[in-house]
Structure 1
Amino acid sequence: MKKVLCLILLATSAGFAQVKSTDDNNKSDIRYSLNPSGSHYVKFTFTNQVWLRLNENNPGTTVLSDPASQTFDIGLRRTRMQLFGQITDRVFFYTQFGLNNFNKTNGFPGYNTAGTPSNRKVAAFFHDAVGEYEVLRKGSDFIRVGGGLTIVNGLSRFSQPSIGTIMTMDVPIFAQATVDQTDQFSRKLAIYSRGQIGKINYRLSIADPFPVETSGGVPAALGVNSVFAQKKHKKQFDGLLIYNIFDTEDNTTPGYMTGTYLGKRKVWNIEAGFIGQKNATWRQENADTLYSSMNLWSVASYLDMPVNKDKGTAVSAYLGYFHTEYGKGYLRYNGSMNPATGTNLPIAGVSGTHGNAYPMFGTGNVTYAQAGFKFKEGLLGSQGTLMPFASWQYSDYERLKDPMNLYNLGVNWVIKGNNSKLTLNYENRPVYKNGVEFNELVKDGRKASWILQYQISI
C-alpha cells in the first residue's frame, strides 16, 4: 500500500497527466509513462462494489447464534487495486490487491482453525502477482508466456472474469470451479501461455493447486461423498480456446475477460475450455479410500455488440454448457458474502447451508445463460442510461433429486460506463432438505434476495 501511495505522489510531482486510455471503457487512466511515446508505462486502477441487501434466509439460519428468517446487511463485495505495466516492449507485470465479501460476519467464527482469535482487519490479500514475456509479435498476433499467482485458466470466460465490467449483479461463481478450496479466490500458482493467432485466442496453463488444508476452514471429512483430497497432490492442467467471429477482445491483462463492452466493440465468440487434475478428490467406500480425477469442460457462445451505433444501444448475451465431474457425490454449498453464520437445521453430507447459500458446485451438468440490453445513451439526460438484464442457471447435480434453477433479474443504471454504476438485482433460489433416499436432497421451496450495488471504478 505504501508503494502504491508513493507511486501516485511521484507521478504527480513528475507531471502525472490524465491521458486517454485505449481500453474498452474509454476512461481516463492513472498512468505514468516510462518512455516518450507512452508505450512503456505503469498504471494504477481502483474498483469498489458496495452491497445493500435484504435476504430471505434458508430454513434454520442463525446469525451470531440468534435465529434469523431474514437479514439486512451492508458489505463490500469487492474492493480491489491493480498496479501493472509494460516495462519493455516484451516484459509486462500485473498485480492486484484487495478484499472480498467484507460484511459484519467477516472473520466469523470468533476463533480460527488454529484456535487463535479471528481478525476482521486481515481480509485483504494479493489476488495476482504475475510476470509475463512476449515471445512473438506479428501485427495483432502474439504469443506470451508468464507465471506467478494468476487467474489464467481454462473452463470458460467466467472462470476469469473482469469484475469491473460485469453486466449482471455477480458472475456465475460455479464457473470458478475450485474457488477457495484449492486456489486463492480462483487464483493459482501457475505457468501459462496465452495468445492471439488470427481469429483464435488461447490460454494454456499448468497449475500447482493449494492443499485444501490451507483454505482457512476445516477440510471436509472423508466419507461416502467425494471431497478434495488431502493426499496424492497432483498438478492441474487448464485450457481455453476462443474463436472470434468479429472483433478480437482486449488482451492487456493476463486472464481477465470483459463482462460487457457496453456497445464499444462488436464481439461474437465461440469457446471451449477444460480443467483436469488427477486424484483431485477422495471418498470412502467400505474400508477403501477411492480417488477421483477432476474433469471439467464447457462449450459456450458470447455475444456483445452495438444495435444502433448512433443511439448507443447494445445487446449482450451468453449461453454455456458445463460438464462438472468432481467425483461421485461431490456437492458444495456456497453463498456470496453470506450474511449468516450457522444453522440449526443441518443437511446431511453438506455444510454451510445457512443464509443465502445454495448447491453452487457439484458433479453433474450445468446450463447457464444471461442477456441484457443497453438503452440509448442519454436516456436519463446527463445521468446516463439503463441496461436491464436477466440470468438463469440450471444445475443437474448428481445428489439433487430436483435440478436447481437459479434466476436473477435486474437493471444497471449506467451513470458513466462501468466507472459509476448502480445495480438493482432480484435473485430467486431453491431451498433443499434431506430426501427419503440415502444421500439425496429434495427441493423444499424457494427463497429470494434483493441487492442494491454501487460500483465505482477508476
Structure 2
Amino acid sequence: MKKPIPILIGLFLVSLQFMYAQGSPDYTGGLKFKLNEDGSKYLRVISWAQIQANYNMDESFDANGNENSNLNFNLRRARILMFAQINKDFLILTHFGLNSLTSSTLSPTGKGDGSQLFFHDVWAQYNLGTDHVAGGGLHYFNGISRLNNQSTLNMMTMDNNRQSWATIGLSDQFARHLGIFLKGKFNKLQYRLAINDASVSTLDSRTAVSGGDAVYNGRANLGSKEAGKTYAGYFDYNFLDQESNFLPYKVGSYLGGKKVFNIGVGFFLHPKGSIIDSGTLVAPNLEGENVSIFAVDAFYDTPLGEDGSAITAYAVYQNSDYGKNYLFSAYGTGSMVYGHVGYVFKGDLNKTRYQPYVSYGTHSYDAVNDNRSTLGIGMNAYMSGHNSKLTLEYKNQQFGTIDANTISLQAMIYL
C-alpha cells in the first residue's frame, strides 16, 4: 500500500503542464454581465471546484473487520456564487453547492443527503452612506477571527483550520447564521457585527446527564426565549493596504498582490447555548451554560522585491468556553494557538509559481489532560493565481490515541 504515495507526488508534477493549459493568466474578475452601459448594474457569477485524492497512511477497518482502502477520492467543494446590483444602494447574494462528496455519501440516484445542493448564503444588504452597510438573511458575517470568515477560494493551506470554524453545525448551518448584520469601516478600522437566531437542530445531539459535562443544544431544550439568539463581531485594523470588505470572505493569501498587515479581535456569544443537568437520575434539572468565544489574530502578506516572491503569515489565539468541560468532535472548552506561513518563490506572474507552506496548531481542553496538535506541510503550484492551482499536503493530527497521517493532492479551478 506504499505505491499511492509516489503516485500522488507524480500526479502533482505531471499535472502541472496539463493544468497550465486550463489556466487563464488574463482572468479579470469572473463572469460579469453588465445590465447597463457603465456596468453599475450587473450580475456576477463565480463557480469553483476542488477535487482531492487522499491517502491515509494508517490502517483502518470497517464495521465488518475488513481493511479500508488507503486511497480515496473526494469532491471537496462544488460551488456557485452569484450577486447582483441594479442600484448602488442595495445588493443580493446567493451561494449554493455541496461539500465532501465521497464514496460514503454518494447515493444511487443522487437524491441522498450527501448528494444534495443546499444554500450556503442568501442575503440582501443596503448601503447606509459611503462606508456602512446593513443586511440580513443566511449570511457569513461571522465574529471571532479571520479564519472564521475564511474564503474557500484562496486559502493558502489546503483547507481551513477546523477549530477556527468554531460554531459550524453547533449553532449555525455550515458556518452561516440566519440573522441581521452591520458592516463597514472607520478609516483603517473595519468591523462586522451580527445578531442571529441560533439553530434549533445541532450536530451535538447528546443528552445531558446528571452531574455530567455540558452539551451544546440549549436552544432545543430551553427554547427560543432563553437560548434563541447569538451575537458576533470582528474588528480588524488595516495598517498597510486596505482590504476590501465588500463581501465577508477573507482572503487567505494575496501572493504578493498587496502589502497587508492587519490585527484583529473578535467574539461570539450564545447565552445559555449549552446545558448541564444539575439534577438527579430521577429528577433531571437542565440549566443553561453561556457559550463565549474570543480571539485575537494577525495577518501579514507582502511582496519581497520586484521578482514575484512573497510571504504570507498568520497567527491566532482563541479562547473557547462552550460550557463545563465541553468536548465534542474538534471543539471543546479551552484555548487554541494556530499559525501558518508560506513563501512564494520568485517567478513570472503569468507562469507557474510555487509556494511551500507549513501550519501548526495546538488546542488544550479543560475536559482532558491531553492537547490536540495538528501539523501541515504543503506545496501550492499556481498556474493562474488561485484560479488554477494544485496543492500537495502532508497532515498529521495527534490527540489521545489518535495519530493520523494523511497525504492529499487537490486540484482547484475557479472562474
The alignment's TM-score, normalised by the length of structure 1, stands at 0.78
Residue 237 (structure 2) pairs with residue 251 (structure 1): no
Q: Letter of the 2:52 partner, please give it.
A: W
Q: Is the 2:332–2:365 Cα contact (8 Å) retained in structure 1?
A: yes
Q: Is the 1:149–1:189 Cα contact (8 Å) retained in structure 2?
A: yes
Structure 2 unaligned blocks of 5 or more = 1-25
Q: Residue 227 of structure 1: SS of its match in structure 2?
A: coil
Which residue does the alignment assign to 1:451?
408
Residue 354 (structure 2) pairs with residue 378 (structure 1): no
Residue 318 (structure 2) pairs with residue 322 (structure 1): yes
Q: Letter of the 2:183 partner, please give it.
A: R
Residue 229 (structure 2) pairs with residue 235 (structure 1): yes
Aligned length: 378
Residue 395 (structure 2) pairs with residue 427 (structure 1): yes
Match of 2:277 among 284, 306, 314: 284
Match of 2:356 among 388, 391, 404: 388
Q: Residue 418 of structure 1: SS of its match in structure 2?
A: coil
How far off is 1:399 after superposition? 1.9
Residues 49-448 of structure 1 aligned to structure 2 (within 5 Å): 49-56=50-57, 61-63=60-62, 65-68=64-67, 71-106=70-105, 119=112, 122-137=115-130, 142-212=131-201, 215=202, 219-223=205-209, 224-228=212-216, 229=218, 230-232=220-222, 233-253=227-247, 255-287=248-280, 288-308=285-305, 310-333=306-329, 360-378=330-348, 383-432=351-400, 444=401, 446-448=403-405
How far off is 1:27 after superposition? 3.0
How far off is 1:37 after superposition? 1.1
Q: Is the 1:96–1:129 Cα contact (8 Å) retained in structure 2?
A: yes
Q: Letter of the 2:331 partner, please give it.
A: F
Which residue does the alignment assign to 1:12?
none
Q: Is the 1:53–1:451 Cα contact (8 Å) retained in structure 2?
A: yes
Q: Is the 1:431–1:447 Cα contact (8 Å) retained in structure 2?
A: no
Q: Residue 259 of structure 1: SS of its match in structure 2?
A: coil
For the structure 1 residues 107 and 235, does the alpha-carbon distance in structure 2 shift closer, same or farther, using more than 3 Å as the test? farther
Q: Letter of the 1:365 partner, please give it.
A: S
For the structure 1 residues 305 and 65, does the alpha-carbon distance in structure 2 shift closer, same or farther, using more than 3 Å as the test? farther
For the structure 1 residues 66 and 51, does the alpha-carbon distance in structure 2 shift closer, same or farther, using more than 3 Å as the test? farther
Q: 1:258-277 CA distances to partner (integer Å, 9 max, x unpaired)?
A: 11111111110000000001
Q: Is the 2:204–2:328 Cα contact (8 Å) retained in structure 1?
A: no
Q: Is the 1:56–1:69 Cα contact (8 Å) retained in structure 2?
A: no
How far off is 1:62 after superposition? 3.9
Query: Bigger shift: 67-76 or 202-211?
Result: 67-76
In structure 1, what is the Cα distance between the partners aligned to 2:253 and 2:190? 18
How far off is 1:26 after superposition? 5.6
Q: Is the 2:142–2:148 Cα contact (8 Å) retained in structure 1?
A: yes
How far off is 1:66 after superposition? 4.2
Q: Residue 95 of structure 1: SS of its match in structure 2?
A: strand
Q: 1:332-352 CA distances to partner (integer Å, 9 max, x unpaired)?
A: 22xxxxxxxxxxxxxxxxxxx
How far off is 1:290 after superposition? 2.8
Q: 1:314-345 CA distances to partner (integer Å, 9 max, x unpaired)?
A: 11011110000000121122xxxxxxxxxxxx
* Aligned-residue identity in percent: 29
For the structure 1 residues 304 and 199, does the alpha-carbon distance in structure 2 shift closer, same or farther, using more than 3 Å as the test? same
The CA RMSD over aligned residues, in Å, is 2.2
In structure 2, what is the Cα distance between the partners aligned to 1:231 and 1:244? 42
How far off is 1:415 after superposition? 1.0
Query: Bigger shift: 230-239 or 161-170?
Result: 230-239
The alignment's TM-score, normalised by the length of structure 2, stands at 0.86
How far off is 1:416 after superposition? 0.8
Which residue does the alignment assign to 1:355?
none
Q: Is the 2:373–2:399 Cα contact (8 Å) retained in structure 1?
A: no
Q: Letter of the 2:44 partner, please give it.
A: K
Q: Letter of the 1:454 partner, please give it.
A: A
Structure 1 unaligned blocks of 5 or more = 1-24, 111-116, 334-359, 433-443
Q: 1:211-262 CA distances to partner (integer Å, 9 max, x unpaired)?
A: 12xx4x6711222121112222320000101000001112222x21111111
How far off is 1:89 after superposition? 1.2
Q: Is the 2:62–2:68 Cα contact (8 Å) retained in structure 1?
A: no
How far off is 1:376 after superposition? 1.2
Q: 1:113-153 CA distances to partner (integer Å, 9 max, x unpaired)?
A: xxxx981564210100010001111xxxx000000001111
Q: Letter of the 1:147 partner, please give it.
A: G
How far off is 1:180 after superposition? 1.7
Q: Residue 83 of structure 1: SS of its match in structure 2?
A: strand
Q: 1:52-100 CA distances to partner (integer Å, 9 max, x unpaired)?
A: 0011458xx5446444466321011111101112221111111101001
In structure 2, what is the Cα distance between the partners aligned to 1:57 and 1:211? 37
Q: Residue 447 of structure 1: SS of its match in structure 2?
A: strand
Q: Is the 2:182–2:194 Cα contact (8 Å) retained in structure 1?
A: yes
Q: Letter of the 2:347 partner, please give it.
A: E
Q: Residue 128 of structure 2: SS of its match in structure 1?
A: strand
In structure 2, what is the Cα distance between the partners aligned to 1:188 and 1:269? 25
